[in-house]
Structure 1
Amino acid sequence: MYFEKEELRRAKQMSAIEFLKRHRPEELVRCGTGEYELRSHDSFKISESTSLWHWKSRDIGGKSALDYLVRVEGVPFTDAVQYLLEQEPPGYMPTPKSAGRKPFVLPPAAREEYRVELYLQSRGVSLDVIRYCISRGILYESLPYHSCVFVGLDPNGVPRYAALRSTCDGPNAFKREQVGSDKRYSFCIPPLVRSRRAAVYEAAPDALAHMTLEGGRADKYRLSLGGIYVPQDTSTDRPAKPPAALEAFLQNHPEVDALEICMDNDRAGRWAAQNIAKHYSKEYTVTVNLPPGDGRDWADAAKQQKQERAARSRAACLNREL
């Protein structure tokens, strides 16, 4: 179907926040000053004043109602334009999110993890750490795109969550969560034996990178939160909602009594670390451990260590040749 430029301009006029207030008011939950989240997707945040939205778990964003319908609700583009123009009843009506969560199914696995190993090693992660995770069924390479799949298990060892990350850089790179993932069972590297300590990270690669920096020690749980949420206004005294992944993890691991908060060393990470530490400090021994350098994460630190080690090796080879 063809639309005139003027029709497309009109279809893009309605903002996402206007659409949600008019057609999905039951989905909007206020979560801060001038900001909402969706009842069905708490990692989706939208500004009331600008209509800018960001779906953290899928790393996508937009502003218009058209963006929202196509990218969040999956409405075909032509149907979404028709819907907004009100030319005729929409041929596609979005399934209400309250109808239930889509079933979780892991992506098909490749026969080997060659590309995943190369990619993670390029990020500074040691091969020993990579294979430790592979051997425990929490990391593999998918088909057909050969992405990294970081698997989260429930207490019975059943996969309930997966974070996907492409093994390429550039415009085709992506990171998202598998449809139907349950954030309560986010990616977690288990220790060799039960431990009373747990380290908490923003993303799965950070957990592998920090484990590498610590010599591959499998002496504590290493839990990824699958991203963090920081409100636009961080000056409010309103307490932050504790991460679902950490809350469920602590309920399932009552033996844990010490937490190491290993967020990224940027504004969002420092704010999250402060609030997580404040929330749990009465019940747990809490330490905050951020990577060195402003704006850096643990993957940056591991990559730098690898580069420095390679530089020292090259220098030593040159000295021997001289």
Structure 2
Amino acid sequence: MEDRFTEAELAIAKSVDLTAVASYLGYTVKKVGHYHTLKEMDSIRIYDKSHWFRWSRQYDKGENGGSQIDFLRVFCGMEVKEAVWWLLDFAGYRRIEEKDRKPPLKYQVEPGRKPEPKKFELPVPAPDNCFLYSYLNQERGISKSVIDYFISQGLIYESRHYHNIVFKGNNKDGVTKFASMRGVFDREEKPFKCDVAGNDKEYGFNVPNDESSELVVFEGAIDLMSYVDIFSDYETNKLALGMLADAPLTTFLKEHPQITSIKFCLDGDEPGRKAALQLTEKYYGLGYDVEDCPPPAGYKDYNEWLVGTKLNFEVSQKVTHLCKK
């Protein structure tokens, strides 16, 4: 194993859902108000699904909380490097040796008990997509015609409960294997984002076209939709990873062997740029024609580029109108 990790790899490790990790390791996760706890240890508090604190050991420095890495260090007896590798593997980014081997729980409860996998069930659709249209069009600048297209293809819809936007990831036969949700009511500038329980992280939100040999890859579904809006591209294959790991890309390429070229349209921030460099090198080495296509300088992602372009156009139109008076 390598001794050092890139910042992008560490960011992926620290983006893993800590409640999913705890559940996978055999703990019973319960939501209480704005945090989660564990049935086996109710002094544990998991906040934002990313960090934890243990009140029963609040004075034990190094044993009382931290990140996902610290959780594996304390409760599985892992070294830091081993914990990072395990999290990368859990996210689908890397495969460690003996991938089916679970680390022993330092505080094992009910030895030998295997948690039952959650059943994958799509959220119930709302009677209409009113909030979906309002959010994607008014807040994210996506044209109604583009939204119409994705709805007509059965790729997005509005859920009945909470009115979240559901993004579906289908396999080559059109069977939904993955789904993520995005809230339309951001509170305190904190967006609600999560994957539907029980989904297969080997898949991502995608738009296939067996007649095209080109694939365009994004981090998020809204960036994918924004790209379609900017370039009116309804012809190429498109895939949103939902993360910086490439497990969904590996699956898509296996299911669509006609693809020979890949455009990586990842974010313009530091993690996105480092991931793009790694992925272009990897897939060039695998024989694909690759191209790194970040958003223009000054824009974080394709949606920010879309919104900025439309805003600039509106301003120019207003200036033109005033000059004619």
Q: Same fold (TM over 0.5)?
A: yes
Q: Deviations over 1:239-291 (max 9, x none)?
A: xxxx1000000000000101001000111111111111101113111111000
Scaled by the length of structure 1, what TM-score is found?
Answer: 0.70
Q: Which has the higher mean CA deviation after the structures are superposed, 151-160 or 289-298?
A: 289-298
Q: CA RMSD in A?
A: 3.3
SS in 2 for 1:20: helix
SS in 2 for 1:160: strand
Distance 1:19 1:317, change over 3 A: closer
Q: 1:220 Cα shift?
A: 0.3
Scaled by the length of structure 2, what TM-score is found?
Answer: 0.69
The correspondence for 1:109, drawn from 125, 131, 134, is 125
1:290 aligns with 2:297: no
The match for 1:20 is 72
Q: Percent sequence identity over matched residues? A: 28
Distance 1:36 1:280, change over 3 A: closer
Q: Gapped runs of 5+ residues in structure 2?
A: 1-41, 44-53, 95-105
The correspondence for 1:166, drawn from 183, 191, 207, is 183
The match for 1:270 is 273
Q: Is the 8 A contact 2:73 2:80 kept in 1?
A: no
The match for 1:226 is 242
User: What amino acid maps onto 2:90 in structure 1?
Assistant: H
SS in 1 for 2:90: coil
Inter-partner Cα distance in structure 2 for 1:315 and 1:157: 48
Inter-partner Cα distance in structure 1 for 2:288 and 2:57: 54
Structure 2 counterparts to residues 1-322 of structure 1, below 5 A? 8=55, 10-11=57-58, 13=60, 14=63, 15=65, 17=69, 20-21=72-73, 23-25=75-77, 30=81, 35-38=84-87, 41-42=90-91, 99-121=115-137, 122-171=139-188, 173-191=191-209, 194-214=211-231, 216-228=232-244, 243-282=246-285, 283-294=287-298, 296-320=300-324, 322=325
Between the two proteins, the alignment pairs up a number of residues equal to: 255
SS in 2 for 1:218: coil
User: What amino acid maps onto 1:107 in structure 2?
Assistant: P
Q: Is the 8 A contact 2:263 2:291 kept in 1?
A: yes
Q: 1:19 Cα shift?
A: 5.0
Structure 1 stretches of 4+ moved >4 Å: 16-19, 28-31, 93-98
Q: Which has the higher mean CA deviation after the structures are superposed, 246-255 or 8-17?
A: 8-17
User: What amino acid maps onto 1:140 in structure 2?
Assistant: Y
Distance 1:105 1:40, change over 3 A: farther
Q: Is the 8 A contact 1:190 1:218 kept in 2?
A: no
Q: Is the 8 A contact 1:40 1:97 kept in 2?
A: no
Q: 1:11 Cα shift?
A: 4.8
Q: 1:9 Cα shift?
A: 6.0
Q: 1:104 Cα shift?
A: 0.9
Inter-partner Cα distance in structure 2 for 1:169 and 1:293: 27
